[in-house]
Structure 1
Amino acid sequence: MIAANEIKTKGVSSIEEALREHSEAMITVRGKEKYVVMRVEDYQHLREAELDAALWESRQDVENKAYKTQSIAEHIQELFD
């Protein structure tokens, strides 16, 4: 964990130091965990995994016919009902 005050005094080097030992680092503000920082490569890997999961879920919906076919007007009406 990195305190926000440490980032103020040490700058990015405090983040780099934390990421040498861990794949992610928590930043605390007033003693409470508030932010997570990680390397861009790790973030991209995480996003890719999220997109893969969303694609799998969508394919399951299609396979199980868990979707609606409707016009734009019907869809908008449903949103406001």
Structure 2
Amino acid sequence: MIVSANDLKRKGISYVGKLLKEFESVFISVRGKKKYVILPIEEYERLKELELENAIREAEEDLKKGNYVIESAEEHFKRLGI
């Protein structure tokens, strides 16, 4: 479902709450383009958990492949150009 920023301004957040009972998410459009998305907190937390699980999986793969560097914090910052 797409709601314009002006509709959100006029109808308020309770309108979004009603829409979320019917739709999985609500997009907010600004000047006719989707700019934001509103999700129920449970869906947001599920997505964040998936993101974390993916990061852990990638780190484990890098570890298995030896794709890592052991260095001091100073060496690390120098390598990053900081």
TM-score (norm 1): 0.91
Secondary structure of 1:36 counterpart: strand
Q: Percent identity?
A: 37
Structure 2 match to 1:27: 28
- Aligned partner of 2:15: which letter? S
Q: Larger deviation: 11-20 or 62-71? A: 11-20
Task: Give the Cα separation in 1 of the matches to 2:78 and 2:14.
Answer: 53
Q: Does 1:72 align with 2:68?
A: no
The two structures, once aligned, show a CA RMSD in angstroms of 1.3
Aligned positions, number:
81
- Aligned partner of 1:40: which letter? I
Give 5+ residue unaligned stretches, structure 1. Answer: none
Give 5+ residue unaligned stretches, structure 2. Answer: none
Q: Does 1:18 align with 2:19?
A: yes
- Aligned partner of 1:4: which letter? A
Contact 1:24/1:36, CA 8 A, preserved across alignment: yes
Task: Give the Cα separation in 1 of the matches to 2:72 and 2:44.
Answer: 37
Task: Give the Cα separation in 2 of the matches to 1:18 and 1:29.
Answer: 18
Deviations 1:2-25 (A, max 9, x none): 111111111012211221221111
Task: Give the Cα separation in 2 of the matches to 1:65 and 1:59.
Answer: 10
- Aligned partner of 2:6: which letter? N
Q: Does 1:8 align with 2:24?
A: no
Secondary structure of 1:9 counterpart: helix
Q: Report the Cα offset of residue 73 of structure 1.
A: 2.0
TM-score (norm 2): 0.90
Moved over 3 A (4+): none
